[in-house]
A and B are shown apart, each in its own frame.
Chain A
Amino acid sequence: MKKLSLWSVLCVAMISWSSSAFSDTIKIGVLHSLSGTMAISETTLKDTVLMMIEEQNKAGGLLGKQLEAVVVDPASDWPLFAEKMRELVEVHKVDVIFGCWTSVSRKSVLPVVEELNGLLFYPVQYEGEESSKNVFYTGAAPNQQAIPAVDYLMGAGVERWVLAGTDYVYPRTTNKILESYLKLKGVSEKDIMINYTPFGHSDWQTIVSDIKQFGSAGKKTAVVSTVNGDANVPFYKELGNQGVSAEDIPVIAFSVGEEELSGIDTAPLVGHLAAWNYFQSAESEENDKFIEAWQTFIGDEERVTNDPMEATYIGFKMWAQAVTDAGTTEVDKVRPAMYGLEVPNLTGGTAVMNTNHHLSKPVLIGEIQDDGQFEIVWSTDGEVKGDAWTDYLPESALIVSDWADPAINCGNYNTDTKKCSGQNF
C-alpha cells in the first residue's frame, strides 16, 4: 500500500514536471510522411522545418522561449493524417503544425484542425477551391502556377494543347480549370486533348505516340502535365526515346522540381519546362544563404532545394513574425496578425499573406538543364495574388474568401447571394 502511494506521488510529480517543462517551450508539430509512398517528397519538408526551428532557436527562440519540434509519421496513410493531427493538438498541445503534401491528406485533416482550432501551414501547390480558417496555404493556387504557365506557352505560339494528368483530384480539377480557360481564350475543342493515366503509370508508349501524332498537325503543340511525380520518369524517357524533343513539343510540368530531377537521368528532359514560384537557380542573396544553410544542415553539398521548401520557409518566417507581433502563440491572436505580413521570398521580392489565407508570390517558368537545375526563362512582372476560388469555373467565379472583413468572415462567400455556404472551408 505504502509502496503504491509512493509510486503515485512520483507519477504526479513526473506529470507536473513534464507539464511545466512544456510551458517553457513552444511546440511545433511536423505532420509529414516519413514512410510509405509520399516519404520521397515529404521527408525533405520535415527536415526543412527542423532546420528553421534550429535557426530560430539559435537566434533566441520566440517570445523568450525555445522552439521544440514534435515529429510524427502519418506514413502516407490518409486517415492516419487525421489521427496524427488530433494527437499533435490534443496530446502534445502543439501551437502550430507544418504538414501535409497530397490534397487528400489535407482534406483528411481539415475537419480535425477546424474542430480543435489548430493552425496548419500547407506548403504545396494545389488545386485551390478551398480556404479554411485554420489553414494557411503557402503553396501555389492554380492562378499562381497553371494559368501563368499556359499564358507563357501561348505567348510562345502554342495553339494545340495536351492536358495529361494522373487520375486523381488535383489533375482533374486543374485540367477542368485549364480547359475552360483555354476555351475562353479561343482555343477550339479539337485542339485540346485530355488524357488521364493511373498512378505510377509506366508504359507510356501509346500515349506518347498519340501525342506525337496530335502534335504533327502543323500547329505548335505543348503538353501541360499534371502527371504525378513518380510516373514522370518513364513518361519523359519515352518522349526522349520516341524522338519527341522539347523544341518540337515542350512539356510543362507542375509537379516536377529539383528534388524529383535529382533522382533521374536528366538527359532526355533537357528543355522541358516547369512552372513554380521558386527555383534553386534563382539569383538572390536570401536564396544563396538558404541553400548554404540547407546543405550544411543536411550535410550534403549536392542536396537540392525546391519550391515546397520555399513555401515552408515563408510559412515558418511568417508564423514566427506573427507570434512576435501578437505576443502569444494563441491561434485566435496569431491568425489576424498574419494578414498583410510581408516576408522576403527567396527569389528576390516579398511574399504577402492575404486575407484569403493564400500568398502573393511571383510565378517563374524554368527550363530543365542537363545538371538537373532549371534555367529561368520567364517570370511574372510582379507578385501574383493567390486566388482561393478560381475565376475560370462558373460555379467558383462568384465565390470569394476573406477572413478579415467582418462582413464576410468566411472561406466561401457567394458574391451573388451574399451568403457563406454551410461548409466551414
Chain B
Amino acid sequence: MGVPIIERPYIIITKMLSKLTFFILLSFLLSEFSLAEDTNTSEKKSSFTEIVTGLTTKNFDEKAAIIKEIQQSEHPRSLTILAKLLDGKIYYKKDDKMIVIVDFKGKIANIINASTGDLLGEMPKNKLKKVGINNKLRRALNLSIAQLSLADKSEKVRKSAAVEMFKNMNDETSSILKKRLTVEKNKDVISALKTAISINQLNSPIHENKLDAIKSLSNSLYPEVRVALRDLEKDLSNKTLTPSSQILTQEIQAALKKIESSVGIYKQIENIFFGISLGSVLLLVAIGLAITFGVMGVINMAHGEMLMLGAYTTYIVQQLLPNHVEYSILISIPTAFVFTGLVGIGIERGVIRFLYGRPLETLLATFGISLILQQAVRTLISPQNRAVYTPDWMSGSLEINPALSLTYNRLYIIIFALLVLAGLMMLLNKSKFGLQVRAVTQNRTMAKAMGIRTDWVDAFTFGLGSGIAGIAGVALSQLTNVGPNLGQAYIIDSFMVVVFGGVGNLWGTLFGAMTLGIANKYLEPVTGAVLAKIIVLVFIILFIQKRPRGMFALKGRSVDN
C-alpha cells in the first residue's frame, strides 16, 4: 500500500552492478573453462577447416558428403557456411585453396575465412574461384540448413525449416522434431512440427498411430501431406485387404476429399485474384489511352512506346542510383510521368495538332512515331533487353495458407492501378484543368469562346495521357522485359480495353479491363492461352457490332464527329 512502484535510482544501479559482477565472474569462469577445452578441440577445429576445405572439389557427390559432415560437426560456424554456400557466396582462393566467404563490391571482394570467421581484407575477383553448386546440392543444403535452424530466433525461419523437413521425414528426423516440439512456443511452428511428425507417423506399424495421423492431417493443406496420404493409399491397395486396412483406406479417402474440396475453393479465389491482377495491368496500360484516344479522339499508335519509355526510365533511374534499388521504383514513378509527359506534349505540338479530324493520317503518323521511338531506343541504348531489378519488398508472395499465396508484385500493381485511376478521376472531375479538358471535349467552339486556350488544353491532355502511360511502364518493368518491343505487346490490349469499355469513359475502362482480365483467366485453363486470347478478341468484335460505342458510351467530341 502506497509503496511507489518505481524503484529509486540508486537501487537500480546497485542491482545492475551486482548483475554485472555476476556476469564478469561467470564469463571469467567460462573463459577458464574454454581455455581448458581449447587444447582438446584444437585438433577438432583444424579438422573442421579440413572438412570445409574439401569443398574445393569439383565432384558434386563429394561436395554433398562434405555438406553432411559440416552439418553433423555441430561446429558454431556450420550454419553460416551452409547458408552462404546456398547463397553462392562461398569462394576459394586460387593460391592456397582457403575457403572464404565473399562480399563483392564491384570487382573487389571483402573476404572472410569461412571456418574461423576471421576478416581477411580485400581481394580482386580474378584471384577467387566460386564453389559451384547444383540442384541436388541445393536440396541437401536446404535440408541441412532446416535441421540446423529449427532453433532459430525468428518464428518465420523456424516454421519454414519445419515445412522443409516434410520432404524428408524418417524416424530419426521425427525424433529431432519431437524434441523441438517440447520447447517450441509459437503456435504456427508447433502446427508445422506436428504435421511433419504426423507425416512420419503414417508409416508407423501400429494401426492406431496411423489412424491418428490421418485424422490430424485431414486439416492440412500442404501438398506434401496429400502426397503422403496418396502414397499410403496406394500402398494399402497393393496389400491384401484386412478389416483394419479397409478402415484406413476409408479414412484416407475421406481426409483427401476434405482437403481437396478446400483446396478447390482456394484455387477459385486464386483464379479470381489472377483475373483481377491481369485486369489491373490492362487498366494501367489502357488508362493513358483512355485519355488520348477516349477523351481526345486521337488514334495514338505510339501509346505502347510511351509505356516503353516509362519502363526505360525505371532502368535509367536504377542505373543512376545503383545503391538504392529498393526505392528507385518509387523515384521512377514521378520521373517517368514527367519524362513521357514531355515527350507526349512534344508529339502533340510537333505532329498531332496538324492532323486533328483526320484519323487515318493520325494513325499513320503515330505509327511512324512509334517505329522511330523503337529504333531510337535500339540505337541509343541497346537492342538487348535491359535488366530492371525487383526490390525485395516486391518479390515473393504473401502466404495466406499453404494452398493460397498471392504474389506481392501483383498485389502492389492492383493497388497502384486503382490509385492511378482514382487520382486521374479526381484530376478530371475536381480540378480546373479537368474542367477545361471536359469543356473542350464536349464542345470545343464554346470552350474557345469562353476563353479557354484549347490548343494548350489539347497539348496538356495528350501529355497527361502519355505521362500516365509512362507510369504504367514503370509497373510493367516489374512484370516483363524492358526492351524496345515492350510497347508492341500491349498496344492491342489497351485498344481492346478502351473500345470495349466505352470510348471516353474511365469507369468503362475499369470495367473493360477487369472483365477482360477475369474472362481471360477463366478461359485459359480450359482452352489454353493462345485460344483464350482469340476467343476474347472474337467476343469483342461481336460485342462492338451490338454496341458500337462500347459498354459505357459517353457524349464527346468523338461522338460529334
Measured CB to CB, the residues of A under 8 A from B are: 34-35, 37, 39-40, 43, 156, 167, 195-198, 200-203, 205-207, 209-210, 213, 216-218, 230, 233-234, 237-238, 240-243, 245-247, 250, 259-260, 262-265, 267-268, 270-271, 273, 367, 369-370, 375, 377
Min CB gap A314→B, angstroms: 24
Q: A233-B480, A259-B384 are in contact. Are A241 and B409 (CB under 8 A)?
A: yes
How far, in angstroms, from A250 to B520 measured CA to CA in the complex? Answer: 27
CB < 8 Å neighbour of A201 from B88, B270, B383, B529: B529
Q: In the complex, which residues 428-484 of chain B have their Cβ closer than 8 Å to any Cβ of chain A?
A: 479-481, 483-484
**Do A268 and B395 touch across chains, with their CB atoms under 8 A apart?**
yes
- Pick the interface stretch among B23-31, B201-209, B224-232, B342-350: B224-232
How far, in angstroms, from A61 to B440 measured CA to CA in the complex? Answer: 69
How far, in angstroms, from A205 to B390 measured CA to CA in the complex? Answer: 17
**Do A241 and B387 touch across chains, with their CB atoms under 8 A apart?**
no
How far, in angstroms, from A337 to B271 measured CA to CA in the complex? Answer: 60
CB < 8 Å neighbour of B385 from A230, A267, A268: A230
Beyond A197-B529, A205-B410: 14 further Cβ-contacts under 8 Å?
A: A156-B135, A196-B529, A197-B530, A218-B230, A234-B479, A234-B480, A241-B397, A241-B409, A242-B405, A243-B397, A245-B138, A250-B135, A375-B133, A377-B134
- Pick the interface stretch among B49-57, B77-85, B187-195, B273-281: B273-281
Min CB gap A305→B, angstroms: 14
- Which residues from A are CB-within-8-Å of B485? 37, 200, 230
- Which residues from A are CB-within-8-Å of B385? 40, 230, 233, 260, 263-264
B side interface size, CB within 8 A: 57
How far, in angstroms, from A218 to B226 measured CA to CA in the complex? Answer: 8
Instruction: State the majority secondary structure of interface residues on B.
Output: helix
Ranked 7 nearest A-B pairs via Cβ: A263-B385, A216-B223, A218-B227, A241-B407, A39-B383, A375-B132, A202-B480
- Which residues from B are CB-within-8-Å of A265? 387-390
Min CB gap B245→A, angstroms: 20
Q: Does B375 touch A at the CB level, under 8 Å?
A: yes
- Which residues from B are CB-within-8-Å of A260? 385
How far, in angstroms, from A202 to B520 measured CA to CA in the complex? Answer: 13
CB < 8 Å neighbour of A209 from B270, B378, B384: B270
Of A205, A209, A213, A234, the most chain B CB neighbours within 10 A belong to A205
CB < 8 Å neighbour of B530 from A40, A198, A218, A240: A198
Q: Does B178 touch A at the CB level, under 8 Å?
A: no
For this complex, 17 residue pairs linking A to B, each with C-beta atoms less than 8 Å apart, are A35-B378, A37-B485, A40-B384, A195-B528, A196-B528, A198-B529, A205-B277, A205-B521, A206-B521, A207-B524, A207-B529, A216-B226, A240-B396, A241-B408, A247-B138, A271-B135, A369-B130
Q: Does B136 touch A at the CB level, under 8 Å?
A: yes
Q: Does B539 touch A at the CB level, under 8 Å?
A: no
How far, in angstroms, from A243 to B479 measured CA to CA in the complex? Answer: 16
- Which residues from A are CB-within-8-Å of B543? none
Q: Does B243 touch A at the CB level, under 8 Å?
A: no
How far, in angstroms, from A250 to B138 measured CA to CA in the complex? Answer: 12
- Which residues from B are CB-within-8-Å of A245? 138
- Which residues from B are CB-within-8-Å of A206? 271, 274, 521, 524-525, 529
- Which residues from B are CB-within-8-Å of A242? 397, 405, 407
- Which residues from A are CB-within-8-Å of B520? 203
- Which residues from A are CB-within-8-Å of B386? 263
**Do A203 and B281 touch across chains, with their CB atoms under 8 A apart?**
yes
Q: A39-B383, A43-B383, A205-B521 are in contact. Are A238 and B407 (CB under 8 A)?
A: yes
The residue of chain A having its C-beta at the shortest distance from the C-beta of B271 within the complex is A206
How far, in angstroms, from A245 to B484 measured CA to CA in the complex? Answer: 30
- Which residues from A are CB-within-8-Å of B281? 203
**Do A263 and B483 touch across chains, with their CB atoms under 8 A apart?**
yes
CB < 8 Å neighbour of B227 from A167, A217, A263: A217
Min CB gap B252→A, angstroms: 14
Q: In the complex, which residues 376-414 of chain B have their Cβ closer than 8 Å to any Cβ of chain A?
A: 378, 383-390, 395-397, 405, 407-410
How far, in angstroms, from A34 to B379 measured CA to CA in the complex? Answer: 10
**Do A237 and B132 touch across chains, with their CB atoms under 8 A apart?**
no
- Which residues from B are CB-within-8-Å of A246? 135, 138
- Which residues from B are CB-within-8-Å of A156? 135-136
CB < 8 Å neighbour of A367 from B134, B378, B396, B524: B134
